[in-house]
Structure 1
Amino acid sequence: MAKRYRVIKRNGESAPLEIAKIRKVIQWAAEGLDINPIKLESSLGLHFRNNMTTGEIHETVIETSLRLTSIEEPDWRILAARLKLVDFYKRVHIARGIPYEYRYPSYCATVKNFVDKGIYSPVLLEKYSDKELHKAGQFLKQEYDYDYDYAGISLLIKRYMLEYDNQVIEMPQEALLTIALLIEQNQPSSVRLQRVRDTYTMLARRKISLATPILINLRRPNGNLSSCFITVFDDDTNSIFHTFEQVGQISSGGGGVGVSISRIRSHGARIRNSLGRAGGVVPNIRVVNDIALYFNQGGKRAGAVTVALDSWHLDMEDFLEIQTENGDQRRKAYDVFPQVVVTDRFMRAVEGGQDWYLFDPHEVRSKYGYELADLWGDTFEQALDHLYAEVKAGHIELFEKVNAKSLYKQIMKVQIETGMPYIAFKDTINRANPNKHVGIIPCTNLCVESYSVVKPSLIGPQRFDGTTLCRDVEPGLVHTCNLVSINMANLEDDELPAICETSVRILDNCIDITDVPVAEGQRHNELLRTVGVGMMGLADYLARRDIPYSGAAAKAAEVGEAFAYHCTAASCLLAEERGAYPLFDGSEWAQGKILCRERQWFKDHGTLDWNPLFERIAEHGIRNSHITAIAPNTSSSIVQGCTASVLPIFSKFYIDNNSNGTVPIVPPYIKDKLWHYQESKNIDQRDVVNLVAQLQIWVDTGISMELLFNLNNNLTAKDIYETHLLAWKKGCKAIYYTRSIQKNSNLITDKEECVSCSG
């Protein structure tokens, strides 16, 4: 039973009888922080009452610390985190049934216990001896826990620490050290523990942030480590049901899914030569919606799926209505994330206010042999010119003529209401595809930063082989990618080469040890070895160097080039050690290009000497077909204690009301660099586009660029329209959310991010 303390008066202040013990804990927690503990003590009396338990007193001290947090005194949130850890350590020891000590127990004993309970993978004991585990345990530093602020440590404990019997049983540094051991399990014995130490230290010091599937699943037996997947519907019943199964398998494994649905015949199209029988894309989207809800990623959250449709598809106008409040609710899908895939031809038609035609892909395929969803660039434009001529000749049965600008305005109207659809610039994406010899990139992933070649599996009819029921399958490719992000807020410039090298190695190692939920994803992993090293905390990096975000495009280009160089060099080093990715021959890498650009381009536009890297790739190849991708990191940036991704902050100080209570969120350098943090809601979003475009030059996959339009700043639809056009013209590959702050309100159009990509 909890011990209760009587509250007495001292000099007019309320204080518990155990004030000396509380003062001692507070003094410990305040060590190294720029705060005055006496201020906390003087505030506590206002919140004490008679007969409080020790737990209630502890919570009151934490809550008071959080209330004291401000821009002028941000360190109170770190003190609150340390006080939370005191209670957390005690609860973990109780859950484990071991005597409480204010320190981590034996790491080797913990591993054996957790493997025995089925919490940790048995691979740990198969790969490492007791001696090695004891030595690895010496790498663990409890003091790294004390760097978190309250929001960060609360989210880390709630979302990422493993449970047993419905109790959190794992501590942060145990998790990170175990992850490092498993990541480096197949390294040469001569360097393995040193690499474990390096990897653990970078994770523990919050130099590198892991995506959620790695951070949650790597310690567990047979966990999926990949964040991002893209699959594609073929216009065939067997393929449709196979794709439904893929979405379910990926969602249940914790991955975010992108689905291209552009091959599906339109509503009212022919089935077996009977016109008007096809249901179109919307019924299939509704099934995907319900699959995402059903496979809820271990009960933690619903699955997350972006459904992508090309802008020429005859069902486009129905597609734009799937999340609006008006209309037939039987044709709605509120839990998917819509994405419109646009070509340069469409954007030119939008800019020029020209006519645009919508087609049924089935009719085009059956009459003319074009799979429009597989075309881009000149080939697409030639096919479109042919189809336009056929329309004028009266040879096409199903089509609709619309004004391109009016259609884009309809897209923008829905974005103002819901924040979506996302926009994917198909030609820009595919021009930068190094694997054109393999296929095309049909759309983006859930957070619009990760994508590569995708192909549908061709599924034959069921048949018996003896007593076995089977199908003939020509396997396709499901884009599969693992993600980490470099925390720029904690980065010193001279650390970048080593951090990039470790980041690429982490992800390449993950490819070899992950349990991919679908076979076509495993095939993609093996053949293309796609990874995505990203950035977070760029706004902190800039503020720390006294650079305002709105004028940082040139600095972004400098940072982006160094980031690209060292990540590419790291993948080349792995190719020397382990070999190039299997489909390297025929790729643009093999043709003497980096980032799909010739050597001369780097001489004209770069500031670093890329020649040695060109020579090394010519000799050894590259290990990973895609290497960099910048994710949104909205949740994991809270754990890392930095700003999200490469975007400006929304607010310099705000209170997050969540299940952990009222939690202050403050960027790391706010006290000394207040005026160098610029809030996104007050920045011209064209400045955001310009900065992201400079980074995009050096990022071989994509960037989760979110735009925020504050309608209180006299913005109009024309401003949003022109910013979208600028993004296309500047070479951005996609637009993530287009959010808006409504007039006379701080409310923004909102939809929860994909946790899978959040690392």
Structure 2
Amino acid sequence: MAALLSLSWLDRVAAGLPRGPELLSRLWQDPTVRGAAEADVESAALQAACGRVHEEPAYERLAARLVLRRLYREVLGTPEPEPEAYRRAFVEFLRQGVRCGALDERLLRMDTTLLARALEPGRDSLLPLVGLCTLLDRYLVREPTTRRLLELPQFLFLRVAMGLSLREEQPELWALRFYHATSQLDYLPSTPTLFNAGTPHHQLSSCYLSDVQDSMDDILRSCVEFGQIAKYAGGIGASVTKLRAAGSPVRGINGTSSGIVPFVHMFDALIKAISQGGRRRGTLAVYLEPWHLEIRAFLDLKKNAGDPYLRAHSLNTALWVPDEFLDRVERDEPWYLFDPQYTPELPELWGQAFREAYRARVLDAQSGRIPPSAWRVVGARDLLREILATLQETSHPWLAFKDASNARSMLPGAIHSSNLCTEVHLPTSPEEVAVCNLASINLARHLTPQGVDEAKLRRTVHLAMRGLDNVLDLNLYPTERAKRANLRHRPVGLGLMGLAEAFARLGMRYGDARSCEFTDRLVEFLSFCAIEASCELAAQRGPFPSFGESRWSQGLVPFDTLEDLHRLRGQVDVERSSSLDWDALRRRVREGIRNGTVLAIAPTATISLIAGTTPGIDPYYANLFARSTLSGKFLEFNRVLVEQLQLCGLWERVRERLVEARGDLSEIEDVPQTLRDLHRTAYQIPPEDYVRVAAVAQKWVDQGISRNLYLQDRSLETMERTYLQAWRAGLKSTYYLFMAPRMYAEPSTVHVNKALRKLRWNLEEPQTCTVTCEACSS
């Protein structure tokens, strides 16, 4: 113990933490630390601190500081570098990175000494433990051959900022602005930008959308393009609706088609083979419209049982659902399935045009003008129940809504699918592979006790929009079709993360009237500022090339397109009020806007870990849970709840019961009812509240929203009601469906058995989250 007490560096690591001396005292009592040789104390202390996070969340900060010591030692040769040494090392990092081929040589053309002086090493402490480990494992630059670490967190933020500024007239000025915003976690670009900005392989875009045509040449071309896109960290959404069904004639060879499944299986094998150097898995989602003759084989793709050659376990599946199908579900009418070789017009149509063409094809089938082998009839509601049962079993297929997506599009052309995470909605064609470039505002960094700091949020939105627009011109495009589409439409997707944290800090319950009103006004402001910023960029740089063909040129804004959806359906279940001067902005839009799209709310599954906030618009999964990622398993907790319990003097009294209950406050009577109501977690929130929050946000968003759903009730009736509500409310898409587990294992961190308590096999209890979303490009 005396030897440990002489380790003054441990005191410095704990300096400034709440009850730092007490934390160290308890840490020194840990057998792992007490028995360690002095040279191994740091590793033992890290292990012990991670194991005690459940009893005192401040140990998470202590563990993060210990990880930083390791990082500094590896890169700088000392665990406690002086700030000036940290800054000087950045210049050498750039030189070394260029020499070994890890960095773009253009970075050295900037005033690197000036930029290095702006580095703030203390901002490393803003990163949570899971975020820091995520950066260390996959984002920080390494020497290509030896894999030796070259980069530190502040180096990364400045490297990315410099990479985004390469084509600016004042690159140092804008690099500093991007650096200060991202290093303070005010906003973060998407994963591909963080990976690749400032490197020789500057593929910075997140999402690619492709419409696979019904020919062997195009299928094989798509396969090559998907491989190139996945290689450089892009996620892919691909429509396979046009591929003819199994048994359909192939006249060129006087044979028959093998159908969609073998080609999807081929895409699955391709995407499984690409892991981006172990940094992230290759990612692809295939979309199908539910009138396709092979819909049932498509539903089986993600099932565990069955012929492995008829399965596709590595990619994701989604349905591109037209209103006609759900109208027939509500009326409990028949639904006709067709071979697309005989209905080639249907993938290109939506709304009333689709409805008329589909009904004409039904008459063709009934009158014998379509061969009996090329169509089939099922009950619409029966098919929806099959879809929902498969969704419950496999979390697939996701459901996205074709007509809402097209009716509310601001760009010319038909939208044939969404993307990997269902928030990108862009037109595709045989000549164009759509591309979207993403970034997300960290709402938690824009809060005051009274609400949102709108002046700061406006500044951040304008800066983020400039960075996104820069990506379009800096990007390394994997294919010519992608380059053509991106430069013609210049779409970007600015989103947000930390909405649930904002609700908790401002005393709002997820999905109640106050939180929905807050979301409505917040996303309205976000939309207004993003459009405003894009208009300013257009005045400087010119509007996007297809502006004259777009609805922007008519002086319309995304909010206006709700009326088009209302006319199409007769009703959209979302409140239509606004609070800002949209007429003035419409006049500016008519003069020109730089970007064909401006908003898309991604799930931010990975960058929210780095930012230390809640993902996208999702709630807290639980108030305490274990998160599994490619970087390991981490115990996470609702920091807002812990702070509030500590203010009430309740934390130490209830923390063990909170761990035992897996973060569920509902049965802990010592916690005030107001806190129990405020901190409902994922499975305790009614599904209609998820839809309401997404609906008021979607009315302002020109692309889509990645909307996860969590259901306590496993009945198909509840699922059907929820998805029909999402459709009626005007959502463009939904994402994963999570069902509450039926049981969970005994916690190992509390003395359940020693207290002679029964292990709770509760059918309505949320389980530790083991779902990873590393496929997300955001």
Asked if these proteins are the same fold (TM beyond 0.5), I'd say yes
The answer as to whether partners of 1:488 and 1:541 remain within 8 angstroms in 2 is yes
Aligned AA (1:722): R
1:282 aligns with 2:268: no
**Pair 1:187–1:43, CA change in 2 (3 A):** closer
**Pair 1:144–1:263, CA change in 2 (3 A):** same
**How far does the alpha carbon of each residue in 1:266-313 deviate from its partner, in whole angstroms, 9 at most, with x for none?**
111111188971111101101100111123223334311101101110
Aligned AA (1:609): D
Aligned AA (1:709): L
Q: Which deviates more from structure 2 when the two are superposed, residues 445-454 or residues 114-123?
A: 114-123
| Aligned residue in 1 for 2:773 | 753
Quote the Cα distance in structure 1 between the aligned partners of 2:189 and 2:600: 13
SS at 2:302's partner residue?
coil
SS at 1:361's partner residue?
coil
SS at 1:406's partner residue?
helix
Q: Which deviates more from structure 2 when the two are superposed, residues 204-213 or residues 659-668?
A: 659-668
Aligned AA (2:440): S
| Aligned residue in 1 for 2:382 | 406
Unaligned runs of 5+ in 2: 448-452, 565-573, 646-674, 745-765
Quote the Cα distance in structure 2 between the aligned partners of 1:205 and 1:581: 31
1:76-225 equivalences under 5 Å are: 76-94=59-77, 103-126=86-109, 128=110, 132-164=111-143, 165-189=146-170, 192-225=171-204
* 1:30 to partner: Cα distance: 2.9
Q: Which deviates more from structure 2 when the two are superposed, residues 279-288 or residues 44-53?
A: 44-53
SS at 1:388's partner residue?
helix
* 1:727 to partner: Cα distance: 0.3
**Pair 1:89–1:240, CA change in 2 (3 A):** same
1:550 aligns with 2:550: no
1:385-534 equivalences under 5 Å are: 385-397=359-371, 398-436=374-412, 439-456=413-430, 476-492=431-447, 493-494=453-454, 495-534=456-495
Quote the Cα distance in structure 1 between the aligned partners of 2:343 and 2:631: 55
The answer as to whether partners of 1:231 and 1:259 remain within 8 angstroms in 2 is yes
The answer as to whether partners of 2:504 and 2:679 remain within 8 angstroms in 1 is yes
Quote the Cα distance in structure 2 between the aligned partners of 1:206 and 1:392: 60
Quote the Cα distance in structure 1 between the aligned partners of 2:243 and 2:175: 48
Q: Which deviates more from structure 2 when the two are superposed, residues 603-612 or residues 584-593?
A: 603-612
| Aligned residue in 2 for 1:628 | 599
Query: Of residues 496, 500, 515 in structure 2, which corresponds to 1:535?
Result: 496
**Pair 1:686–1:321, CA change in 2 (3 A):** same
* 1:451 to partner: Cα distance: 2.3
**Pair 1:742–1:51, CA change in 2 (3 A):** closer
1:615 aligns with 2:587: yes
* 1:332 to partner: Cα distance: 1.1
* 1:590 to partner: Cα distance: 0.4
Query: Of residues 302, 323, 327 in structure 2, which corresponds to 1:344?
Result: 323
Query: Of residues 324, 330, 349 in structure 2, which corresponds to 1:375?
Result: 349
SS at 1:306's partner residue?
strand
Quote the Cα distance in structure 2 between the aligned partners of 1:662 and 1:122: 37
| Aligned residue in 2 for 1:3 | none
SS at 2:43's partner residue?
helix
Unaligned runs of 5+ in 1: 1-14, 366-370, 457-475
* 1:329 to partner: Cα distance: 2.4
**Pair 1:741–1:94, CA change in 2 (3 A):** same
**Pair 1:275–1:683, CA change in 2 (3 A):** farther
1:238-249 equivalences under 5 Å are: 238-249=217-228
* 1:502 to partner: Cα distance: 0.8
| Aligned residue in 2 for 1:63 | 47
The answer as to whether partners of 1:641 and 1:667 remain within 8 angstroms in 2 is no
**How far does the alpha carbon of each residue in 1:333-385 deviate from its partner, in whole angstroms, 9 at most, with x for none?**
111100111011111111221100000111223xxxxx211111111111011
Aligned AA (2:773): E
Query: Of residues 559, 578, 581 in structure 1, which corresponds to 2:541?
Result: 578
Aligned AA (2:427): V
SS at 2:277's partner residue?
coil
* 1:599 to partner: Cα distance: 12
**How far does the alpha carbon of each residue in 1:540-581 deviate from its partner, in whole angstroms, 9 at most, with x for none?**
111111111121111110111011100111111100110000
Quote the Cα distance in structure 2 between the aligned partners of 1:306 and 1:660: 24
SS at 1:378's partner residue?
helix
SS at 2:347's partner residue?
helix
The answer as to whether partners of 2:605 and 2:776 remain within 8 angstroms in 1 is no
1:557-568 equivalences under 5 Å are: 557-568=520-531
Quote the Cα distance in structure 1 between the aligned partners of 2:629 and 2:407: 43
| Aligned residue in 2 for 1:595 | 558
| Aligned residue in 2 for 1:36 | 20
| Aligned residue in 2 for 1:17 | 3
RMSD over aligned Cα atoms: 2.5
**How far does the alpha carbon of each residue in 1:602-639 deviate from its partner, in whole angstroms, 9 at most, with x for none?**
997210112221121222x1111011111111122111
SS at 2:588's partner residue?
helix
**Pair 1:55–1:665, CA change in 2 (3 A):** farther
The answer as to whether partners of 2:493 and 2:598 remain within 8 angstroms in 1 is yes
Aligned AA (2:466): R
**How far does the alpha carbon of each residue in 1:49-92 deviate from its partner, in whole angstroms, 9 at most, with x for none?**
78734453112222332333248x42221121012111210012
Query: Of residues 671, 680, 688 in structure 1, which corresponds to 2:682?
Result: 680
**Pair 1:275–1:16, CA change in 2 (3 A):** farther
The answer as to whether partners of 1:213 and 1:227 remain within 8 angstroms in 2 is yes
TM-score by length of 2: 0.86
The answer as to whether partners of 1:655 and 1:662 remain within 8 angstroms in 2 is yes
Quote the Cα distance in structure 1 between the aligned partners of 2:622 and 2:463: 32
Aligned AA (2:243): I
| Aligned residue in 2 for 1:641 | 612
Number of paired residues? 704
Q: Which deviates more from structure 2 when the two are superposed, residues 31-40 or residues 377-386?
A: 31-40
**Pair 1:722–1:75, CA change in 2 (3 A):** same
TM-score by length of 1: 0.89
Quote the Cα distance in structure 2 between the aligned partners of 1:755 and 1:104: 34
**How far does the alpha carbon of each residue in 1:203-253 deviate from its partner, in whole angstroms, 9 at most, with x for none?**
001011121100011121032101100111111121111111111111111
Q: State percent identity of aligned pairs.
A: 28
SS at 2:722's partner residue?
helix
Quote the Cα distance in structure 2 between the aligned partners of 1:659 and 1:286: 25
Q: Which deviates more from structure 2 when the two are superposed, residues 480-489 or residues 491-500?
A: 491-500
Q: Which deviates more from structure 2 when the two are superposed, residues 138-147 or residues 215-224?
A: 215-224
* 1:597 to partner: Cα distance: 1.4
